[in-house]
Amino acid sequence: MKNAVGREIPEEILKATGKEVFHGVHYYDGYEYQKDGPKTRCVVNSDGSKLVKTIHEALVKCEIRDGMTIGFHHHFRDGDLVVNMVMEEIHKMGIKNITICASSLGKAHAGLVPYMEDGTITGIQSSGVRGEIGKAISEGKLKGLAVMRSHGGRVRAIETGEVHLDIAFIGAPTCDDYGNCRGIGGKADCGVLSYAMVDADYADRVVAITDCLVPFPNFPTHISMTKVDYVVVVDAIGDPKKIATGAAKPTKDMRKLMMADYCTRFVTSTPYFKDGFSYQTGVGGASIASTISLAKIMKERGIRMRFGVGGLTKPMCDLLDNNQVDVLLDTQDFDLDAVESVKDIRHFRISAGEYADPFNKGAVVNKLDFVILAALEVDVNFNCNVVVGSDGVITGAQGGHPDTAAGAKCTIVLTPLLQGRIPAICTEVTTVTTPGESVDVVITEYGVAVNPLRKDLLEAVKNSGLPLKTIEELRDLAYRIAGEPEKVEFGERIVGIIESRDGTIMDVVRQIKPFQFKEEKKVLPESVHK
Amino acid sequence: MKNAVGREIPEEILKATGKEVFHGVHYYDGYEYQKDGPKTRCVVNSDGSKLVKTIHEALVKCEIRDGMTIGFHHHFRDGDLVVNMVMEEIHKMGIKNITICASSLGKAHAGLVPYMEDGTITGIQSSGVRGEIGKAISEGKLKGLAVMRSHGGRVRAIETGEVHLDIAFIGAPTCDDYGNCRGIGGKADCGVLSYAMVDADYADRVVAITDCLVPFPNFPTHISMTKVDYVVVVDAIGDPKKIATGAAKPTKDMRKLMMADYCTRFVTSTPYFKDGFSYQTGVGGASIASTISLAKIMKERGIRMRFGVGGLTKPMCDLLDNNQVDVLLDTQDFDLDAVESVKDIRHFRISAGEYADPFNKGAVVNKLDFVILAALEVDVNFNCNVVVGSDGVITGAQGGHPDTAAGAKCTIVLTPLLQGRIPAICTEVTTVTTPGESVDVVITEYGVAVNPLRKDLLEAVKNSGLPLKTIEELRDLAYRIAGEPEKVEFGERIVGIIESRDGTIMDVVRQIKPFQFKEEKKVLPESVHK
């Protein structure tokens, strides 16, 4: 059955998942459902400690068994030690058929591939699956379907009960013996625990893992003791060097600087750019450069930002230091400056639900004026792909991309015309992750394309001097330079789904074909898209 | 059927409520249940405002109808305007058969009595029902059963789904147009919104009422927009003069000063009084005097408190100002000093659930060393009564009394030997609200009785010089002075239940008999208790 972005979703997948096809970004507005609730074990006694000696003991007390679903967060990013540590113990215990439901997985988790191969892990649900795990899924090594969700979509899936977490493990930079967790302090300081909050709310059993036990009460708590069953102290939960990087150096890449310049000019030409506006941006070089140049114009024009939101980096925190923004709302800290900035009293932590969940009574993304995003591919319908590489291998993460795009009044996607030698603007993206109806503007170093649905924005920028193009013109230009890309050839088996933030199916991901020499493919074939 | 405190709970009540009799304080330790979830209406659009013009409009949008249960909080205490305002509108709309589930009701709500009489309100669930409402319930004016719950018990009732809130109204001192509520600021500054947090988590529809609309985002939010459906702005939600009083003047009442002295000497004689101890106390003159004298001894002995908790008053906040306590955990602010102190970064808000809920994974009360409480009556089994006056009329509130008593390692009840001319220490309390197994020490101006279950405490204080007595000795002394009190004569009809914090039935409250001259009663009868 074809969905609202024109993707064919096979009946077998609809049947297997019990899901609908994607109907459009606002299809579920006003939808009513009953929230799930965890099975909770009451602690009425006054013994006063939840410490257990080992992860093994915690697993036993949580009654680990085959087929369970385990929650993890990704605030330690490439420095995460928790997922591997827990899965190693589960593997040792001979438990099979585990589904990992993580807010994201990445390079740190290559060690899980053997557990996929031996049936310890048969399900993976995550925002993204970068690195070896993505490759393994694309190669068909996971028995079950991988589910790729946005940050908001993960909260939705858990609170609707579509996914029920049997046990959640929460790596806590500091924790007391009764389970009050904070994202700040300790050896693995990650600043915030936003993505783990929904796990604490909805998992039947919650285990806090820390390498820095502090006296009770560890306040202000980010995750309350009222939701934590057990506390385990280990030597290390994260590698500090890989949790948050030093601030990115301002880019010198001319293409990125051009995109940043176009972006800033676009933003400042719209009616949303006025005192009290709100803003989110990413971690790419162009995004960062654009934030820096935007700050200058804000100063010149005496315009102040009301709030900045999202995964944060130094340039956003600089706005706070320079008193150009009232407050920051933080879900993740990408660099050490952001981790440090969390201590500012105007820099607030929010949960992933508050940030981006489409199934609560209104998330922060709904209040966004601007979001600046990147993409691996954008097609002529403004659909974006941020998960599957042009080679067909899962390599990225939905993150908050579809959430912020849906919420923001002006969604701007920055992408170079070519990613390496492959056109980033194309006729049809390999996989749709963010629907074109949410994407208002695409900015490349060769020109700026406004979504024709946004006549108001086109009108606003028509005299800006920006190199306005149609998205087809950008695509044609890309194809002229690099040639029309050959369509990736997938196998038949569907290895994963791209879930829309509302739980419907945006697209499917198929197994990649084993590599083979194809002499005849050296000549570009006729496009299959015409 | 007799319960664990020897009270006869009629079968009809067990049948009507579906409840069990009270089995003991730790009966539900380790009990597992599935938490309830609210019916949630998703807001996926970016319109960005939840403002509605009137309470009437909010009620219509919430689809108010006969038989609904409505949640309210009591942070505006005697200055509350919200409950009356909402109920007046519901009454005007001709809606019948409403159950009010409030964290407490008091003097401010006398205006609800006519609505009880005309069938608008047929159910009341509350910690306490002071003033006219208590009298009206005792007179049998409420059609249904009144349910008196502790603060922790209310959270339990809501999260187990025993009570499902159809609509919750949250008076918010400040709020933005998207529903982010804070207890601080505005015209009705009450400091915290602890009791309302469970309403926001579990009610199907949540309406924030404010008299101080502030720009989005109102952070750090005490109740998140993700839980709020509508926002109404009214002229006033509370009368500031009656929300928090000025700090109580230190008492000059000799009886109270004696009790305070005994209390401090008791506390400081126990092994729990050591560096890092935790402490909660009440708002009575003796409690306050005791906190002040305790602070002196802490200074002398170089002992520091780790945390203080509860409804807070000036003497507790003074400990923070004087750097004698690390942190305060706040559920309610009784005086203006406490409201002001909330702005201190070591003074933290906690939810009623974090404070006292027996059905989560561990509340702060479980970590208490000392709690200092008051009581209307204490009997020779150490059972306390804090709800029903010795005249049989409902006049008090459970509050956190049974919660803290159950949790604290040392629970001390201060009461004068006589309340007015009526013995406060008696053979059998009029109504049991806190079971004797949770009460360790009773302190009167005539002597100190330690619960025989606590041999360790008896041993600890045997050489303290305190006037140690048995509880029977104190009772006998009271009876010698004031005469053995005549047992209140109740009618047959049961008008309310005293719910234990775990949801079982601690006691029932019967309708009072209409007043009649009883010439023969001028002579004291033989006690019925022998």
A positions 478-517 inside 8 Å of B (CB)? 502
Q: Which two tokens stand for residue B65?
A: 């109808």
A38 domain residue, yes or no = no
Distance CA A488, CA A498 (A): 17
* Cβ neighbours of A44 in B, within 8 Å: 25-26, 28-30, 358, 366, 406, 502
Q: Are residues B29 and A43, on separate chains, in Cβ contact within 8 Å?
A: yes
Last residue of a domain, one of B223, B243, B263: B243
Whether residues A225 and A269 fall in one domain? no
Do A135 and A263 fall within a single domain?
no
Q: What is the CA radius of gyration of chain B?
A: 23
The tens digit of pLDDT for each residue in A162-175 reads 999 999 999 999 99
* Residue of chain A minimizing CA distance to B354: A226
Residue A114 forms contact with B (CB below 8 Å): no
Q: Has residue A300 got a pLDDT over 80?
A: yes
Residues 427-466 of chain B whose Cβ lies under 8 A from any Cβ of chain A: none
Task: Encode pLDDT of B474-513 as tens digits.
Answer: 999 999 999 998 888 899 999 999 999 999 999 999 999 8
Query: How far is it, in rounded angstroms, from Cα A127 to Cα A144?
Result: 16
Distance of CA A432 to the CA centre of its chain: 15
> Does B233 share its domain with B350?
no
Question: Which pLDDT tens digit goes with each residue over B54-107?
Answer: 999 999 999 999 999 999 999 999 999 999 999 999 999 999 999 999 999 999
b/e for A80-119, b at 16 or more Cβ within 10 A? Answer: bbbbbbbbebbbeeebbebbbbbbbbbebbbebbebbeee
Which pairing describes strands A32-34 and B39-41: parallel, antiparallel, or unpaired? antiparallel
Residues A268 and A228 in one domain: no
B37, B307, B361: residue with CB nearest A34: B37
Q: Which residues pair with A124 in a beta bridge?
A: A100, A146
CB-based contact, A327 to chain B, within 8 Å: yes
Cis peptide, bond prior to residue B217, ω within 30 of zero: yes
Q: Is the pLDDT of residue A286 over 50?
A: yes
Same domain, B263 and B235: no
Are B44 and A179 inside 8 Å of each other by CB?
A: no
pLDDT of residue A524: 44
Burial of B81 (0-12, 13-18, 19+ CB in 10 A): buried
Contact B217 A35 (CB under 8 A): no
Which residue of chain A has the CA closest to B353?
A226
State the Cα–Cα distance between residues A504 and A7, nearest whole angstrom.
12
For residue A513, the model assigns a pLDDT of 87
In a domain, A340, yes or no: yes
Among the three residues A216, A243, A270, which one is the final residue of a domain in this structure? Answer: A243
Question: How distant is the Cα of A45 from the closest Cα of chain B, in angstroms?
Answer: 6
The one-letter code for the residue type at A496 is G
* Residues of chain B positioned with their CB less than 8 A from the CB of A40: 32-35, 159, 359-361
Q: Report d(CA B75, CA B222) in Å as an integer.
A: 13
Nearest neighbour of B35 by CB, restricted to A33, A37, A224:
A37
Q: Could you tell me the CATH number of the domain that includes residue A67?
A: 3.40.1080.10
**Cα–Cα nearest to A414, from A205, A191, A255, A206:** A255
Residue B28 resides in a domain: no
Q: Please, are residues B277 and B295 in contact by the beta-carbon 8 Å criterion? A: no
Domain count across chain A: 2
In chain B, positions 405-424, which contact chain A (CB-CB < 8 Å)? 406-409
C-alpha to C-alpha distance for B191 and B340, rounded to whole angstroms:
8
**Residue A189 sits in the same domain as residue A317:** no
Q: In chain B, which residue's Cα lies nearest the Cα of A27?
A: B44
**Single residue among A219, A243, A267 that ends a domain in this structure:** A243
Clarify whether residues A192 and A292 are in a common domain: no
Q: Are residues B238 and B262 in the same domain?
A: no
Q: What are phi and psi of B479, to 5 degrees?
A: -70, -35
A380 shares a domain with A289: yes
pLDDT tens-digit series, residues A224-251: 999 999 999 999 999 999 998 887 788 9
Q: How do residues A69-107 score in pLDDT, each as one tens digit?
A: 999 999 999 999 999 999 999 999 999 999 999 999 999
Residues in chain B with pLDDT values less than 70 = 515-530
How far does the CA of residue A393 sit from the closest CA of chain B (Å)? 31
- Token reading at B527: 């006690």
Question: Mind listing the pLDDT tens digit for each residue in B514-525?
Answer: 755 555 444 444
Sorting pLDDT into bands at 50, 70 and 90, what band is A521? very low
Same domain, A198 and A298: no
Residue A211 lies in a domain: yes
Contact flag A43-B219 (C-beta cutoff 8 Å): no
Instruction: Answer whether residue A42 shows pLDDT above 70.
Output: yes
pLDDT band of residue A518 (cuts 50, 70, 90) is low
Predicted pLDDT at A47: 76
The answer to the question of residue A135 being in a domain is yes
> CA-CA distance, A94 to A77, in Å (whole number)?
27
CA distance B517 to chain A (A): 48
Q: How many residues does chain A have?
A: 530
Chain B environment of A31 (Cβ under 8 Å): 41-42
B-facing residues of A in 193-252 (CB < 8 A) are 206, 215-217, 219-220, 224-229
pLDDT for res B324: 98
Q: List Cβ neighbours of A22 (8 Å cut-off, separation of 6 or more).
A: A3, A4, A5, A7, A435, A500, A502, A504, A505, A506
Q: How large is the average pLDDT for residues A36-54?
A: 93
Gap between the Cα atoms of B366 and B372, Å rounded: 15
Q: Do B360 and A29 touch (CB under 8 A)?
A: no
Q: Residue A409 in 3-state DSSP?
A: coil
| Cis ω before B173 (30° cut-off from 0) | no
Query: Two tokens at B434?
Result: 């806190």
Please check whether residue B49 touches A, CB under 8 A: no
Question: Sorting pLDDT into bands at 50, 70 and 90, what band is A530?
Answer: very low
As a whole number, the mean pLDDT across chain A is: 95
Say yes or no: A293 and A428 in one domain: yes
Range of the domain at B315: 254-482
CA distance A37 to chain B (A): 5
Q: How far apart are CA A209 and CA A79, in angstroms?
A: 15
Rg (CA), chain A: 23
Report if residue A114 sits inside a domain: yes
Instruction: Evaluate whether residue B249 is within a structural domain.
Output: no
Residue A54 makes CB contacts below 8 A (sequence gap 6+) with A232
Instruction: Kindly state whether B274 is in contact with chain A, defined as any CB-CB distance less than 8 angstroms.
Output: no
B114 CB-near residues (< 8 Å, 6+ apart): none
Q: Is the peptide bond before A217 cis (omega within 30 degrees of 0)?
A: yes
Cβ–Cβ below 8 Å for A32 and B25: no
Nearest to B34 among A26, A39, A206 (CB): A39
pLDDT tier at A425, thresholds 50, 70, 90: very high
Whether A68 maps to a domain, the answer reads: yes
A234 lies in the same domain as A258: no
The three-state secondary structure class of A131 is helix
**What is the pLDDT at residue B250?**
84
One-letter amino acid at B376 equals L
Q: Per-residue pLDDT tens for A326-384?
A: 999 999 999 999 999 999 999 999 999 999 999 999 999 999 999 999 999 999 999 99
User: Where residue A525 falls among pLDDT bands split at 50, 70, 90?
Assistant: very low
For residues A120, A125, A127, A132, the Cα torsion angle rounded to the nearest 10 degrees is 30
What is the pLDDT averaged over residues A316-320? Answer: 96
- Count CB atoms within 10 A of the CB of residue A72: 28
Max CA pair span of chain A: 75
